[in-house]
Amino acid sequence: MGRSRADVTWDGRPVLAIESSCDETAVAILDASGAVLGERVLSQQDHLPFGGVVPEIAARAHLAHLPGLVRTVLDDAGLAVAGLGAVAATCGPGLIGGLLVGSGLGRGMALSLEVPFVAVNHLEAHALTARLPGLTADGAPFPYLLLLVSGGHCQCIAVEGFGRYRRLGGTIDDAAGEAFDKVAKMLGLGWPGGPALERLARDGDPKAHRLPRPLIGRAGCDFSFSGLKTAVAQRLAALPAPLSAGDAADVAASFQAAVADVVADRVGHALAVMPAARLLVVAGGVAANGALRDRLTTLAAARGIGFAAPPLRLCTDNAVMVGWAAIETLRAAAAAGIAPDELSVPARPRWPLEEMATRFAVGVQA
């Protein structure tokens, strides 16, 4: 007979992590120090004809590929499944079908191995990525300001400690990544549009079109990109058809510059209300955009604080960040004297970061 789950604790052996919240099927294994022993990401291609992620297709792809991906990563790490000390999986927020597939596999593995299961919040995983060993010179001590910018999220978050997050502002309509994808579609670039638009913008003049900068200069840290997207559509309608390569590049460059201006302004406001922050961290898929990184690097330097952005492979959805969030969770649970097992935490499409404050009675500081 197996042990009671109340007796299951982490013994410091490697953690296997699963990410399946959207259209990336990802698995990684990290050791107790956070070193990556193996990782794989499978980017689903079946959504391309539809111009966006189809939830049912994503869930079926996760179901088809996750077991084989787990075996491959175990082989990469040189581990047998019995050598794992914990299993983690993203349980939200995200597309519920994919979350159920990934978390279901993770729970089953944890039960069979009699090791802890960690239910990871996808947003928290992004928030803690900068603390991965070797990414920042000082290990990204708390507190710091996080700009989480992706296809589904655009938020300024005060990261005050493990499990302690304060949302300072967010988008009131489209997320920045969503706006990138929609403008890219207007330009005939297909999906996903962000990387293609950035490549096109390199050949364009960012001052060619005067586009609005929504909310710029206003109080607060909220974002808005819907009006900017509409303005781009109006500019394209006024240009000669068919659209020339030069005109397309100019529109792309002008749009990208407008987004960078808006984000820099909003982040500047967030830093003003978080004077204790000595570090600005950007995470999420749009954090891979070079123009945006340049603007934020300049902003941080002007404020006399550090700037940290994950390497490009860790900006988009990945299992390394899930594994690291699990390690931080396991450490915090041990410090609080709590059994680090979360089999009962359900998969959920919405999971606000603010709810993480009630996870443990005792928080962990840097």
Please enumerate, by residue number, every residue annotated as part of a binding site for Fe cation: 122, 126, 317
Query: CB count, 10 Å around CB of 297?
Result: 15
Co-location of 288 and 239 in the same domain: yes
pLDDT tens by residue, the chain, 366 residues: 455 666 788 999 999 999 999 889 999 999 999 999 999 999 765 545 555 678 788 899 999 999 999 999 999 999 999 999 999 999 999 999 999 999 999 999 999 999 999 999 999 999 999 999 999 878 899 999 999 998 778 999 999 999 999 999 999 998 899 999 999 999 999 777 889 999 999 999 999 999 999 999 999 999 999 999 999 999 999 999 999 999 999 999 999 999 999 999 999 999 999 999 999 999 988 988 999 999 999 999 999 999 999 898 898 899 999 999 999 999 998 888 887 788 989 999 999 988 888 776 434 333
**Would residue 136 count as lying in a domain?**
no
H/E/C letters for each residue in 1-44?
A: CCCCHHHCCCCCCCEEEEECCCCEEEEEEECCCCCEEEEEEEEC
Strands (E), 217-342: 279-283, 306-308
> Domain check: are 304 and 216 in the same one?
yes
Kindly state whether residues 187 and 80 are assigned to the same domain: no
Whole-prediction pTM value? 0.91
Binding residues for substrate: 148-152, 181, 194, 198, 289
Same-domain check for residues 347 and 281: no
Q: Let me know whether 149 and 103 are in one domain.
A: no
Sequence ranges of the binding site: 122, 126, 148-152, 181, 194, 198, 289, 317
Number of domains forming the structure of the chain: 2
Distance, CA of 206 to CA of 253 (rounded, Å): 4
User: Do 153 and 62 have their domain in common?
Assistant: no
The reply to whether 285 falls in a domain is yes
Three-state DSSP at 173 gives coil
Of 330, 231, 244, the closest CA to residue 8 belongs to 330
Q: Are 148 and 292 members of one domain?
A: yes
- 243 is in which domain, residue-wise? 143-309
CATH of the domain at 215: 3.30.420.40
Please tell me whether residues 100 and 153 are part of one structural domain: no
Closest CA to 24 of 340, 359, 327, 317: 317
**What φ, ψ does residue 13 adopt, rounded to 5°?**
-75, 170
Residues 159 and 249 placed together within one structural domain of the fold: yes
CA atoms within 13 A on the CB side of 117: 25
